[in-house]
Amino acid sequence: MPLSSTCQNCAKSKVRCARLNKQCVYRETGRRFKGFKKDRQIEALESRVNELMTYSKLIPASRTTGGNATHSLNGQEIDETTLDVIAQGLVDMKTAQALIDIYKTDMILHFPFVVISPQVQASDLRQQKPFLFLAVLASAAYSNMPLQRLLGKEMKKVIASRMVMNGEVSFELLQGMLVFLAWSHYHSRPYRYTQFLQLAIGLMVELRLDRPPQTKTWKTAIKFNKEYALDDDKYSRPYWGLDEQRAVVGCYYLSSTIAILLHKPSCFPNITPYLEQCCQSLYDEGEVSHDKYILHIFQLQVIAEKLNNLSWNHGMELGSKGSAAGLYVSNIKSDLDKLRNQLPLGFYETPVMAMQLYSSELCLYQLSLSQKIPLSSAYSIVSETWWGEIFCSGLTAAENILNMYLGLPLGGEQAFNNTQWVQMALCILVASRQVVAASSMGKAALLPQIHTWPETLEKLRQRLEALSTDQVDLDGERDVFVDFEKRVSRIQGWFDCNFDNPEGDLPPRSFAERGDAGLDAATGRPYDTSIAPLDVSGLPPLIGDDFQLAADFFIPSSLEMMTDWL
């Protein structure tokens, strides 16, 4: 600490110490406290300089986007360039162009509902649709996880600013929201998929995209503008062509698939006839090759919804005397078989359509796992032959999904959308339950599936492990594939502990030796009804938070869901 320039003795005696032959004594002095006034002034000046420097960088960009400012509901003009990640220096234009190219060549195959024309460059998209530009960058940057997580947070900031604070409504916001939702598993927790989905559905409703651009109705419109006529029975709205139709069906796809797979209610409007009209229009126009898939994806999802309604509305009737549930199941199976025959040749080379078909089949054929009727029962909804047929068909559907996945080039699954990963999770869980059930049947035809399942799990684990890296984001979190790999490893561990019979011709000892084993309805062989729950300590819970990601759905809180016959 510095010393005072004034001697304490000199000041006190009013005589210099030198004249008195004494040594001067200087006291320590500190800075006089003035409320850090100078520090605050310095900080204010530095902040002002930074603002001026940022503003000077944004001037060229704002000139190029002069006609692209949007307006909130209160008429306030919003300059989108203030949220531009290019101007902030997070991404350069060369990297942005590479990410846009990845989206146009790889990612669009897995989500054909938001199309970017091949002629549109990164600079064009940045100028014309800055929010969609940011959404594509945040989704396609999966090779650089820290950057992707950072861009994902920027997306949430823009959503909060433009949609929540300023109440903006635009078609570009809807397209960006769909892209963000489609690859939401790549972003930071909590995912809040349902909340973001509601924003997208809200945009669709506010833009009146739930109906054709021109409609005629006998209902009285609540309008008070000068041009309004009492006898006006026509309603017209802006129309964005085929892009609009893709977006409407894409919103339905995201809402319906996740609702069914995760047993949640779908909040999408009931506009099935108009959706079918949009899909048919896209199929007939065929503007891009991916438009041909959309009709089949929609038709498969409609069947999946019928299966879902059967489960919730008629599940208690299965096995009841006089119930029509069995006939309903047969009709759905017939519709599914008919649609499968109508799919184009080589459909299995298009993962999004193939997984939609196989997961729909799996949703139907897992019905065989619910057959818990005693053999002495005087009635059954299905014959033993029919039951065995759909059980084997379920094994085949699961095998088709896994073979398709393992046949992809390494890294090809990085472009999978969120729904596809949840479909993979469903496949692994249902297939595990099927293997447990098959092991108790003692049928020679099922032995290959039982023997190869541990090997298949190991292949899945190794593939997911190869996708993960040692990178961490700013919060210290690793990439999502680490979580995927952990779930598969836990299933492996459970099978290693419980399936200890190398011959595979009898149920595992842990099943057959237990006194609380039940009887399989089709074969009379024992199956375990009280498998010990799997230890999932340290993993996020499945309830209490809105985890849409397959990472939290790869394995339930207890293997009862995998082994019990519901």
pLDDT of 482-515, one tens digit each? 999 998 999 988 888 876 554 444 344 333 333 3
pLDDT tops 60 at residue 540? no
| Cα gap 449→30, rounded to integer Å | 81
User: What was the pLDDT predicted at 379?
Assistant: 39
Cα distances from 255 to residues 83, 280, 423, in angstroms, run 28, 20, 14
Please tell me the distance from the alpha carbon of residue 410 to that of residue 391, in angstroms, as a whole number.
31
List, in order, residues 6 or more apart from 341 with CB less than 8 Å away.
Answer: none
Where is pLDDT greater, at 291 or 495? Answer: 291
**Which pLDDT score is estimated for 225?**
65
Residue 515: the pLDDT is: 35
Task: Please tell me the distance from the alpha carbon of residue 180 to that of residue 552, in angstroms, as a whole number.
Answer: 19
Instruction: Look at residue 539 in the predicted model and tell me its pLDDT.
Output: 36
Half-sphere exposure of 411 (CA within 13 A, CB side): 5
Say if residue 503 is exposed, middle or buried (CB neighbours under 10 Å; 0-12, 13-18, 19+).
Answer: exposed
* pLDDT of residue 433 exceeding 60: yes
Find out whether 563 and 370 touch, Cβ atoms under 8 Å.
no
11-28 confidence digits (pLDDT tens): 777 777 877 778 888 776
Sequence letter at residue 449: Q
Tally Cβ neighbours within 10 Å of residue 395. Answer: 24
pLDDT (mean) for 351-376: 77
pLDDT band at 319 (very low <50, low <70, confident <90, very high): low
Q: Which two tokens stand for residue 55?
A: 């503003």
Q: How confident is the model at residue 67 (pLDDT cuts 50, 70, 90)?
A: very low
What pLDDT, on a 0 to 100 scale, did the predictor assign at position 15?
77
- Percent of the chain predicted with pLDDT > 90: 44
Bridge partners for 53 per DSSP: none
Q: What is the pLDDT of residue 229?
A: 58
Report the pLDDT value the prediction gives residue 111, as an integer from 0 to 100: 96
What average pLDDT score do residues 343-365 get?
A: 89
For position 349, what pLDDT does the model report?
84
| Residue predicted with more confidence, 365 or 370 | 365
Digit-coded pLDDT (tens) for 378-389: 334 445 676 777
18 CB-side CA count, 13 A: 0
Q: Token digits for 486?
A: 């952990």
pLDDT for the residue numbered 376: 36
Pair 212, 240: CB distance under 8 Å: no
Handedness of CA 208, 212, 214, 220 (dihedral sign): negative
Q: Give the model's confidence band at 138: pLDDT under 50 very low, under 70 low, under 90 confident, else very high.
A: very high
How much is the CA Rg of the chain, to the nearest whole Å? 32
The per-residue pLDDT for 437 is 82
Per-residue pLDDT at 476 exceeds 80? yes
Q: Is the dihedral of CA 113, 119, 124, 126 positive or negative?
A: positive
Asked if the model's pLDDT at residue 193 lies above 50, the reply is yes
Cβ-contact 407, 459 below 8 angstroms? no
Local confidence band at 548 (pLDDT 50, 70, 90 cut-offs): very low
* CA-closest candidate to residue 111, choices 277, 339, 265, 288: 288
Once rounded to an integer, what is the mean pLDDT over residues 561-566?
A: 28
User: What values do phi and psi take at 80, rounded to 5?
Assistant: -70, -25
Lowest mean pLDDT among 69-73, 283-287, 496-500, 551-555: 551-555
Identify which of 102, 121, 235 has the alpha carbon closest to the alpha carbon of residue 179. Answer: 102
CA–CA distance, 301 with 290 (Å, rounded to integer): 17
Q: Which residues are CB-neighbours of 49 under 8 A, at least 6 positions away? A: none
Residue 198 sits at φ, ψ, to 5 deg, of -65, -35
Torsions phi, psi of 4, nearest 5? Answer: -70, 150
pLDDT at 230: 55
For 14-145, list the strands marked E by DSSP.
Answer: 26-28, 70-71, 77-78
CB atoms within 10 A of CB 108: 19
Q: Which residue has the higher pLDDT, 39 or 538?
A: 39
Pick from 122-126, 415-419, 476-480, 553-557: least confident: 553-557
B/e letters for 244-256, b = 16+ CB within 10 Å, e = fewer, are bbbbbbbbbbbbb
Q: Which residue has the higher pLDDT, 283 or 40?
A: 283
The two structure tokens encoding residue 260: 């069914």
Higher pLDDT, 228 or 259: 259
Average pLDDT of the chain?
77
- Dihedral of CA atoms 476, 478, 484, 489 in degrees, nearest 10, equals -80
Give the Cα separation of 495 and 206 in Å (integer): 50
Integer Cα distance of 501 and 513 in angstroms: 12
Lowest mean pLDDT among 153-157, 218-222, 350-354: 218-222
pLDDT at 392 > cutoff 90: no
Structure pTM?
0.74
CA 512 to CA 441: how far, in whole Å? 12
d(CA 180, CA 137): 10
Residue 374 has pLDDT above 70, yes or no: no
Cα–Cα distance, 562 to 556 (Å, whole number): 8
Q: Tell me, what DSSP letter sits at residue 165?
A: I
Structure tokens at 383: 């014959």
Higher pLDDT, 60 or 441: 441
> How, if at all, do strands 526-528 and 517-519 pair?
antiparallel
Average pLDDT over residues 346-363: 90
- pLDDT digits over 71-124, tens only? 444 555 544 445 589 998 999 999 999 999 999 999 999 999 999 999 999 999
Environment class of 62 (CB within 10 Å of its CB; exposed 0-12, middle 13-18, buried 19+): middle
- Given CA atoms 20, 26, 27, 31 in this order, what sign does their dihedral have? positive
Chain-centre distance for alpha carbon 280: 26
